[in-house]
């Protein structure tokens, strides 16, 4: 596989954007994860389409990786091709609209909007992900969600019929994203996010910055921002708060290996240093069983398990 990728993508290989047996722990907010067989870091839509086309033609499995948040990557890693989207980082403004590519960090987008005097994205300040992941998951916090400000998106349809045609691009209006809690049409339809446009409102940059600082203060007070984690582990069960359920079960600080339930917020699992993916998975299963046995509430994970298990 290595020789085949080198031969087919010499420019990516020579520029250092095609890597082999590459550890993924450093690309995960958990700081956990084994190697990718092939890690490609395209910077153009043309290279992205070429990589996907090649993988599909050769029946090589692929995975699209953003900032590695809301993910638990297997200790065995990910077989096949992993495509990192960090090379897609452009932001532009047109009146009250901001266009951002998939690899833009959410924090970067929020700060850009603040400096431009555009409000609406304050809720996303501090969410440790990328624009692509935020749209994919309908990221949200502190009363706001991506669906509240998204205007439209540009996506790739990842099948050979479309990738080898003249128009593999799909444009989605806001309502076509089928947003729900941590869900979107990008997940259900298997689409690959390229960019999105956000419709914002003009406001005083100082007022926007004050709201962002207040949200950041709340995060630091309530969430374990000082330790690696995958974000909130579970979706909020109807009528309950996951953190309270876990804490009321007496599980605050409970650990398996170096994977531990956060002392600050029991809805988070943190990596105390050398946690493995298997440690985290076993802890998730233990939490689910304990909460169900005591309260008959079924917890559903928000983080995604990826790779070879």
Residue 222 pLDDT level (bands cut at 50, 70, 90): confident
| Per-residue confidence band for 150, with pLDDT thresholds at 50, 70 and 90 | very high
From the candidates 28, 153, 232, 262, which is the catalytic residue? 232
Instruction: Determine the 3-state secondary structure of 132 from DSSP.
Output: helix
Q: On the CB side of 108, how many CA atoms lie within 13 Å of its CA?
A: 16
**Catalytic member of 182, 195, 219, 262:** 182
Of the listed ranges 21-35, 104-118, 223-237, the one predicted with least confidence? 223-237
Q: Rounded distance, CA 288 to CA 249, Å?
A: 11
247 in active site: no
How many residues are there in the chain? 309
Does the pLDDT value for residue 227 go beyond 90?
Answer: yes
Average pLDDT over the chain, rounded to whole? Answer: 95
pLDDT interval class at 111 (50, 70, 90): very high
Cβ–Cβ under 8 Å, residues 158 and 130: no
194: left (phi over 0), alpha (psi -120 to 50) or beta: alpha
Which residue in 226, 239, 307, 241 sits closest to 271, CA to CA? 226
pLDDT tens track for 151-200: 999 999 999 999 988 789 999 999 999 999 889 999 999 999 999 999 99
Active site residue 298: no
97: left (phi over 0), alpha (psi -120 to 50) or beta: beta
By the 8 A CB rule, do 295 and 251 touch?
Answer: no
Q: What average pLDDT does this structure show over 253-271? A: 97
Residue 165: the pLDDT is: 83
Torsion 143-238-268-62 (CA) sign: negative
* 105, 121 Cβ separation under 8 angstroms: no
With b for 16 or more beta-carbon neighbours within 10 A and e for fewer, the 100-111 pattern comes to bbbbbbbbebbb
pLDDT of residue 201: 98
Q: Count CB neighbours of 140 within 10 A.
A: 18
Instruction: Provide, rounded to the nearest whole percent, the portion of the chain with pLDDT above 90.
Output: 91
Q: Which residue has the tokens 């969430």?
A: 223
Sign of CA dihedral 235, 237, 243, 248: negative
pLDDT of residue 167: 82
CA distance 49 to 36: 19
Instruction: Give dist(CA 162, CA 308) in Å, integer.
Output: 28
Distance, in Å, from the CA atom of 78 to the CA atom of 287, rounded to the nearest integer, reads 26
Using the structure block, give the residue that is written with the tokens 């997940």. Answer: 187
Residue whose entry in the numeric block shows the structure tokens 């304990």: 290
Active site residue 3: no
- Check residue 104 and report its DSSP letter: S
Taking CA atoms, 271 is separated from 231, 255, 262, 268, 289, in Å, by: 11, 10, 9, 10, 21
Domains parsed from the chain with CATH numbers = 2-84 (3.30.43.10), 91-219 (3.30.465.10), 227-306 (3.90.78.10)
């Amino acid at each position: 596989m290595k020789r085949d990728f080198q031969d087919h993508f010499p420019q990516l290989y020579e520029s250092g954007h095609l890597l082999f047996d590459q550890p993924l722990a450093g690309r995960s907010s958990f700081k956990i994860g084994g190697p990718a067989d092939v890690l490609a870091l395209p910077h153009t839509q043309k290279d992205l389409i070429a990589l996907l086309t090649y993988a599909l033609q050769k029946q090589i499995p692929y995975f699209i990786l953003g900032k590695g948040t809301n993910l638990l990557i297997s200790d065995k890693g990910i077989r096949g091709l992993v495509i990192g989207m960090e090379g897609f980082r452009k932001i532009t403004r047109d009146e009250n609209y901001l266009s951002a590519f998939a690899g833009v960090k959410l924090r970067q987008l929020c700060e850009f909007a603040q400096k431009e005097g555009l409000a609406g994205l304050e809720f996303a300040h501090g969410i440790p992900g990328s624009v692509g992941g935020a749209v994919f998951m309908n990221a949200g916090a502190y009363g706001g969600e991506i669906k509240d400000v998204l205007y439209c998106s540009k996506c790739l349809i990842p099948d050979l019929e479309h990738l080898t045609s003249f128009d593999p691009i799909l444009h989605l209006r806001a309502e076509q994203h089928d947003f729900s809690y941590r869900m979107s049409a990008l997940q259900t339809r298997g689409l690959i996010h390229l960019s999105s446009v956000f419709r914002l409102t003009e406001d005083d940059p100082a007022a926007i910055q004050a709201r962002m600082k207040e949200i950041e203060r709340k995060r630091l007070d309530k969430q374990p921002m000082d330790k690696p984690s995958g974000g909130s582990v579970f979706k909020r069960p109807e009528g309950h708060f996951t953190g309270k359920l876990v804490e009321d079960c007496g599980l605050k600080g409970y650990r398996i290996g170096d994977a531990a339930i956060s002392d600050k917020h029991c809805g988070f699992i943190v990596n105390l240093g050398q946690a493995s993916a298997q440690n985290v998975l076993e802890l998730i299963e233990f939490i689910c069983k304990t909460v169900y046995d005591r309260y008959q509430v079924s917890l559903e994970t928000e983080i995604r398990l990826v790779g070879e298990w």
